[in-house]
């Protein structure tokens, strides 16, 4: 079974993504963390918490503390001071150092068999590329959450956070032209709205997992309402995990992706869909970008995987139109 | 009835030709002068083409030659799209005596001074002339009544994935133009709406069948356009960007009110995003409003207005009754 590494910056939606992955049949061999939504030490604690909630023992590795070039800007305004709505969880486990080596070693031992699911800034992957691009070329597949092709950004009208926080890493990542890269950005994740109705349903499910999901999303709901009058929160990252579970959830199109590293549009993903397939200039086809999503299918996977004992309740809530109206 | 006082600033160009002809046929519009600029073709070509349109329509106005190069000194010839002469290879005569000795920039300034608060500028090419006029005499340019400009795009580009040709060609000029957007209403007709308003084979054939001599000439003109759209985008038809700008200036209801954004607009003048308009549709930056940007268009209404302006009420009834786009 394909070995999967989650590269994350948890963060509320990253934590949900870890939980989803850890409760699924996916073969998660390790989690690497970079500074993003929160700085790397806090992010590692949050990653371990999600694994403990899922009852899984998967190693966590700390990676980049800072973006490659830019000054670091966290997203605690969105995720809460600790990245998890201020819950300040204590954990039993400890994170290891050496995220970059873990990524490279895993690929070396399993050439063309490793999938990386990158849900945070691309700093760790850019550092791995810098250290050993030949090994990185032997990755089996990479799915990335980031960017925005034809929709407004969340850090500026044109930029999405993961690419915006470390645009140089993102640029280096796409310039490396690694095999089999699929990107899902705000074009599809804006549809993944975890509504208050869903939250209340989860609370009624009861139990430790449900309470955790309920607690960590509180701040997110408040933020989205305050900031953009969206009722509910957009949970970007689990979408990529669901895509690894069921590829029919999103439709992706070949494109060239480059990233702006200066001035007004810094961090913008510049996505060209009309690159001729025989073009070998500066802008080759280097990725597929997801532009369509089946959100009902996503939530089916999300709830049924995380709460397998409540599938009947979930289906009933759907049927009654209480969720996914 | 006092007619609306129009100055065209343009780089004809097939779609410019459609727009200029529509304005010349619109009863309440008085086209005072046509200023030319380099863009679709070099300045000599665009000036000759403007003269040809004046002659074709037997219209009483002069042509004023303007900027031959952009402020940022890029150059791109759109010859392949517009035909070698810029008017689809249609043979048209012209009268050299209609070319004024006055520079376009001076003409714009003199005319605005003589008619403060009354002049509407319809800009269908790169906006170099307008920017030069603003640099020369900003106070006079603040007395322009309104600017209707074809260019930019919020979620799409054409010359790059994020930039539209006119604005890419002279991004610096765009920046300068929108600097007076807090004093002068500037309506930007960008690719988001122009691409939603395709003239199909049915529409164009109707025009040829019922539009008399002018209809035939206009049909012939778009030949290379249709070819290019088929080749690159697999449309059987074409997008006539500049025409939508003029029709919108004639009747703003072609763009439904709820889809019109009064926003802060900035333009990228550096990096891989050069020429991209960054429009803060959701007002996240809380910057002053300097643009009016329609994002929706009633494409059928647009074509009906065009046919009515060019060929009269009777023909448009025929179109409504028998032609499906």
Average pLDDT over residues A65-77: 97
Q: Which of A109, A112, A113, A128 is closest to A63 using CA atoms? A: A128
Tokens 């009654």 correspond to what residue? A320
pLDDT band at A237 (very low <50, low <70, confident <90, very high): very high
The C-alpha of A55 sits at a distance from chain B's nearest C-alpha, in angstroms, of 41
Residues of A in contact with B160 (CB under 8 A): 270, 272
Of A157, A228, A270, the CB nearest to B278: A157
- What ipTM does this complex have? 0.84
Encode pLDDT of A167-186 as tens digits: 999 999 999 999 999 999 99
Q: Per-residue confidence at A226, pLDDT binned at 50, 70, 90? A: confident
* CA–CA distance, B155 with B152 (Å, rounded to integer): 9
Which of B154, B155, B270 lies closest to A263 in CB terms?
B270
Per-residue pLDDT of chain B (325 residues; tens, 9 = 90+): 799 999 999 999 899 999 999 999 999 999 999 999 998 889 999 999 999 999 999 999 999 999 999 997 655 555 556 677 778 889 999 999 999 999 999 999 999 999 999 999 999 999 999 999 999 999 999 999 999 999 999 999 999 999 999 999 999 999 999 999 999 999 999 999 999 999 999 999 999 999 999 999 999 999 988 888 888 877 788 999 999 999 999 999 999 999 999 999 999 999 999 999 999 999 888 999 999 999 999 999 999 999 999 999 999 999 999 999 8
CA distance A264 to chain B (A): 6
CA pair distance B233, B42, nearest whole angstrom: 26
Residue A287, SS3 per DSSP: strand
Print the domain residue range for A106.
3-295
pLDDT at A277 over 80: no
Taking CA–CA distances from A151, the nearest residue in chain B reads B155
Under 8 Å between Cβ of A34 and A123: yes
Residues paired with residue B63 on neighbouring β-strands, in sequence order: B34, B99
Q: Which of B233, B271, B280 sits opposite A260 (nearest CB)?
A: B271
Phi first, then psi, for residue A270 (nearest 5°) are -100, 110
Q: From CA B38, how far away is CA B63, in angstroms rounded? A: 14
Q: Which residues pair with B293 in a beta bridge?
A: B261
Per-residue DSSP letter, A166? S
Residue A227: per-residue pLDDT: 81
Contact list in A for residue B272 (CB cut-off 8 A) is 258, 260, 270
Place of tokens 């954004």: B261
Residue at A228 is within a domain = yes
Structural domains counted in chain A: 1
Whole-number average pLDDT of chain A? 95
- Confidence at residue B76, expressed as pLDDT on a 0 to 100 scale: 55
Catalytic residue among B9, B11, B15, B16: B11
Instruction: Give the Cα separation of B129 and B123 in Å (integer).
Output: 9
CA quadruple A98, A101, A105, A111: dihedral sign: positive
State the average pLDDT over residues A224-251.
93
Q: Has residue A11 been placed in a domain? A: yes
In our burial notation (b when 16+ CB lie closer than 10 A, e otherwise), range A141-174 reads bbbbbbbbbbbbbbbbbbbbbbbbbbbbbbbbbb
Of A79-88, A279-288, B190-199, which gets the smallest average pLDDT?
A279-288
Cα B209 from chain centroid?
Answer: 26
Decide: A324 and A318 in contact? Cβ < 8 Å: yes
Q: Do A270 and B273 touch (CB under 8 A)?
A: yes
Looking up residue B42, the CATH number of its domain turns out to be: 3.90.245.10
- DSSP class of residue A55 equals T
Residue B35's domain comprises 4-322
B270 touches chain A (CB under 8 A): yes
Q: How many domains does chain B have?
A: 1
* pLDDT at B72 (0 to 100): 77
CA-CA distance, A199 to B78, in Å (whole number)? 54
Identify the CATH number of the domain in which residue A136 sits.
3.90.245.10
Q: With contact defined as beta carbons under 8 Å apart, do A123 and A9 qualify?
A: no
pLDDT tier for residue A111 given thresholds of 50, 70 and 90: very high
Q: Contact B271/A157, CB-based, under 8 Å?
A: no
Which residues, in sequence order, are CB contacts of A307 under 8 Å at separation 6+?
Answer: A202, A205, A209, A210, A314
**Where are the strands (E) in chain A, listed by range?**
3-8, 28-33, 60-62, 96-97, 114-118, 141-145, 181-184, 193-194, 233-234, 250-259, 269-272, 287-293
CA separation, residue B305 to residues B27, B255, B299 (Å): 13, 12, 10
Strand partners, B65: B36
Query: Is A54 contained in some domain?
Result: yes
């Amino acid at each position: 079974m394909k070995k999967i590494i989650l590269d994350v910056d948890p963060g509320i939606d990253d934590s949900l993504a870890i939980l989803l992955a850890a409760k699924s049949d996916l073969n998660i061999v390790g989690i690497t963390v970079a500074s993003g939504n929160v700085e790397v030490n806090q992010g590692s604690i949050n990653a371990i918490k999600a694994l403990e909630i899922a009852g899984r023992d998967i190693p966590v590795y700390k990676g980049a503390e800072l973006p490659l070039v830019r000054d670091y800007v966290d997203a605690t305004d969105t995720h809460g001071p600790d990245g998890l709505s201020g819950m300040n969880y204590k954990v039993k486990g400890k994170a290891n150092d050496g995220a970059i080596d873990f990524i490279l070693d895993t690929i070396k031992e399993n050439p063309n068999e490793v999938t990386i699911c990158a849900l945070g800034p691309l700093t760790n992957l850019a550092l791995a590329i810098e250290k050993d691009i030949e090994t990185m070329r032997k990755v089996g597949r990479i799915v990335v959450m980031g960017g925005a092709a034809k929709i407004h950004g969340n850090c500026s009208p044109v930029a999405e956070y993961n690419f915006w926080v470390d645009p140089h890493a993102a640029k280096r990542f796409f310039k490396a032209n690694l095999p089999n890269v699929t990107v899902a950005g705000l074009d599809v994740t804006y549809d993944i709205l975890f509504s208050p109705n869903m939250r209340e349903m989860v609370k009624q499910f009861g139990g430790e997992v449900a309470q955790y999901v309920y607690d960590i999303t509180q701040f997110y709901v408040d933020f989205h309402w305050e900031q953009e009058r969206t009722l509910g929160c957009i949970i970007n990252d689990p979408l990529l995990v669901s895509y690894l579970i069921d590829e029919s959830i999103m439709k992706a199109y070949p494109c060239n992706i480059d990233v702006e590293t200066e001035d007004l549009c810094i961090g913008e993903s510049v996505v060209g869909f009309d690159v001729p397939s025989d073009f070998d200039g500066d802008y080759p086809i280097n990725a597929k970008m997801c532009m369509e999503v089946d959100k009902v299918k996503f939530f089916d996977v999300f709830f049924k995987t995380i709460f397998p004992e409540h599938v009947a309740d979930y289906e009933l809530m759907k049927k009654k139109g209480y969720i996914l109206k | 009835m006092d007619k609306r006082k129009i100055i065209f600033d343009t780089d004809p160009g097939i779609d410019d030709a459609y727009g200029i002809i529509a304005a010349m046929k619109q009863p309440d519009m008085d086209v005072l002068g046509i200023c030319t600029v380099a863009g679709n073709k070099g300045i000599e070509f665009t000036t000759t083409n403007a003269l040809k349109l004046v002659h074709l329509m037997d219209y009483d106005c002069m042509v004023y030659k303007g900027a031959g190069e952009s402020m940022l000194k890029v150059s791109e010839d759109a010859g392949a799209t517009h035909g070698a002469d810029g008017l689809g290879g249609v043979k048209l005569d012209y009268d050299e005596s209609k070319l004024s000795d006055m520079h376009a920039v001076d003409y714009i300034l003199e005319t605005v001074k003589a008619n403060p608060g009354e002049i509407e500028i319809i800009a269908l090419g790169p906006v170099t002339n307008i920017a030069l006029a603003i640099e020369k005499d900003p106070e006079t340019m603040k007395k322009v009544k309104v600017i209707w400009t074809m260019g930019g795009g919020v979620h799409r580009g054409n010359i790059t994935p994020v930039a539209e040709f006119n604005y890419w060609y002279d991004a610096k000029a765009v920046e300068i133009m929108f600097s007076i957007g807090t004093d002068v209403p500037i309506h930007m007709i960008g690719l988001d709406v122009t691409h939603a308003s395709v003239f199909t084979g049915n529409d164009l054939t109707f025009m040829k069948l019922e539009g008399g001599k002018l209809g035939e000439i206009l049909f012939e003109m778009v030949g290379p356009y249709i070819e290019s759209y088929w080749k690159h985008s697999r449309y059987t038809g074409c997008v006539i960007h500049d025409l939508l700008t003029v029709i919108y200036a004639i009747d703003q209801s072609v763009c439904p009110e709820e889809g019109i954004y009064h926003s802060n607009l900035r333009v990228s003048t550096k990096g891989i995003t050069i020429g991209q308009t960054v429009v803060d549709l959701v007002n996240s930056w809380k910057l002053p409003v300097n643009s009016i940007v329609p994002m929706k268009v009633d494409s059928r209404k647009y074509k009906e207005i065009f046919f009515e302006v060019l060929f009269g009420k009777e023909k448009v009834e025929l179109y409504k009754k028998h032609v499906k786009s």
